[in-house]
A and B are shown apart, each in its own frame.
Chain A
Amino acid sequence: GAVVSQHPSRVICKSGTSVKIECRSLDFQATTMFWYRQFPKQSLMLMATSNEGSKATYEQGVEKDKFLINHASLTLSTLTVTSAHPEDSSFYICSARGTAYSPLHFGNGTRLTVT
């Protein structure tokens, strides 16, 4: 079946540095990819939606200059957390789909810890 690969699975970085998370669709073309954040014992929260070749659409309250999203190809989207702070420590998950009503496929998530 379709697989979405997310990398890295865990990352620890120092405050002020930037971290890039990759989300790849391995056997289908993902026209749309979504990025979510999940704090401990909380719901998944959508951060942004990215369509291949277009600028990402960010949810209210998500800083687009801090969370840079690039979806340059039909199989790859990246989320870069810039100038990371400890409060950015969270679990970040991507999902991808082909057409508008195709099933969603999720990555395994990235545990980010900012020290």
Chain B
Amino acid sequence: KNEVEQSPQNLTAQEGEFITINCSYSVGISALHWLQQHPGGGIVSLFMLSSGKKKHGRLIATINIQEKHSSLHITASHPRDSAVYICAVRYNYGGSQGNLIFGKGTKLSVKP
């Protein structure tokens, strides 16, 4: 069982729509990452969160530590946002090297 659950698995949106991708995890974490994987496989780290909210351009990431839940929002979506978005968490455990556990990803397609 994957300890990091993402929803939805697939998402199709029209250009301009507001998009939300959700991530839930099971135990205490020290950090949560949102990653963007392009069709060629390359990965870009979008956010690293341990609390609250971060914003970068049209992207907003929030995390609720008590509810063990994070969301990634994209405002005014654009076809170039089409990619797989991956949530990854770093759990709190002794001796951790900061290893990440990855969700399966959400494939986003934004239609013009």
Instruction: Decide if A and B are genuine partners.
Output: yes
* Chain B: CB-nearest residue to A51: B97
* 8 further A-B pairs in the complex, CB-CB below 8 A; given A97-B98, A107-B42, A108-B40: A32-B97, A34-B100, A42-B104, A45-B102, A46-B100, A59-B99, A107-B43, A109-B40
Q: Is A106 an interface residue (CB 8 A)?
A: yes
Residue pair B98, A43 in contact (C-beta under 8 Å): no
B44 and A106 contacting across the interface, CB-CB below 8 Å: yes
Which of B30, B86, B97, B105 has most A Cβ within 10 Å? B97
Q: Does B60 belong to the interface (CB within 8 Å)?
A: no
Q: Is the CB of B86 within 8 A of A108?
A: no
**Nearest Cβ distance between residue B72 and chain A, in whole angstroms?**
16
> Main SS of chain B's interface residues?
strand
Q: In the complex, are the beta carbons of B43 and A109 less than 8 A apart?
A: yes
B89 at interface by CB-CB < 8 Å: no
Q: Is the CB of B99 within 8 A of A106?
A: no
**B41 and A93 within 8 A (CB):** yes
User: Could you list 23 examples of A-B contacts with CB < 8 Å?
Assistant: A32-B97, A32-B98, A34-B99, A34-B100, A42-B104, A43-B2, A43-B86, A43-B104, A46-B99, A46-B100, A49-B99, A59-B99, A91-B41, A95-B43, A97-B98, A101-B30, A101-B31, A103-B48, A104-B45, A106-B44, A108-B41, A108-B43, A109-B41
Chain A residues in the interface with B (C-beta under 8 A) = 32, 34, 38, 42-46, 49, 51, 57, 59, 91, 93, 95, 97, 100-101, 103-109, 111
- Cβ of A48 to closest chain B Cβ, rounded Å: 10
Residues of B within 8 A of A34 (CB): 99-100
For chain B, the count of residues having a C-beta within 8 Å of the partner chain is 22
Contact indicator B40/A106 (Cβ below 8 Å): no
Distance (whole angstroms) from the CB of A106 to the closest CB of chain B: 4
